[in-house]
Structure 1
Amino acid sequence: MSKFENVTAVKEANIYHNGNVTSRTLEFSDGTTKSLGIMLPGEYTFGTNEAEIMEMLSGELDIKLPGEDWKTLNTPETFNVPANSSFDLKIKTVTDYCCSYIK
């Protein structure tokens, strides 16, 4: 799906890691949320409350999910992140992503 329709966009940006990772939250009528963002090259650790599905729209990165070894992902890729966990990323090229939050 290349576009979302009938959504509310939260005006304020989510800014992480000194501005190297930014996203905007989208709210859907069914109560679900997604974020659309950009990650600049660098190394980052993220924590989760909810389970997430991360869809890479462009870019290349290395990822270390809980209990797994590092692996390289290239666009297009999708990966799942468990709730109440953390994961590590090494962003190699500017990476555009869509994150779906699973309740």
Structure 2
Amino acid sequence: MGNSQFDHVSVAKKANIYFDGKCISHNLVFPDQTRKTLGVIMPGTLTFGTDAPEVMEIVQGKCRARIGPDGEWKTYGGGQQFRVPGQSSFEIEVSEPVHYVCHFSNQ
């Protein structure tokens, strides 16, 4: 997951804007129909729900995250990632802008 760019993708022009602009992302679709979102989370504490399993890759910045309401808070920075099961949720606490890629799974 360490690539600095994605080649040969379709990018949706319209941004996904969540939490009054605290999270803004764009959908990427690859030739094999794999889907990712690429975005930025601004300072704050946000809770996201998941349908399918996800891997949150932190590209730049620092955050704390916990999986599910009873999960343990862990710190993540650029180059690190965390996994979130499908039909679950995660809370993320951001003190500086965090650039991320969310990798979706069909599993």
TM bucket, shorter chain = over 0.9
User: Pick from 51, 60, 63: which aligns with 1:61?
Assistant: 63
Tell me what 1:82 maps to: 85
Q: Say whether 1:70 aligns with 2:73.
A: yes
The TM-score normalised by the length of structure 1 is 0.95
For 1:16-55, list aligned pairs within 5 A: 16-55=18-57
Report deviation, 1:31.
Answer: 1.0
For 1:48-99, what per-residue CA distance to the aligned partner results, in whole angstroms no more than 9, with x for missing partners? 1111111100111111112521111122211111001111111011000011
| Structure-1 separation of matches of 2:7 and 2:96 | 29
The count of corresponding residues between Structure 1 and Structure 2 is 103
**Which amino acid counterpart does residue 73 of structure 1 have in structure 2?**
Y
Q: In percent, how many aligned pairs have the same letter?
A: 37
| Structure-1 separation of matches of 2:78 and 2:30 | 25
Unpaired runs of at least 5, structure 2: none
User: Pick from 5, 29, 38: which aligns with 1:3?
Assistant: 5
RMSD: 0.9
**Which amino acid counterpart does residue 45 of structure 2 have in structure 1?**
E
Runs of 4+ aligned structure 1 residues displaced above 2 Å come to: none
The TM-score normalised by the length of structure 2 is 0.92
| Structure-2 separation of matches of 1:45 and 1:68 | 13
| Structure-1 separation of matches of 2:77 and 2:34 | 27
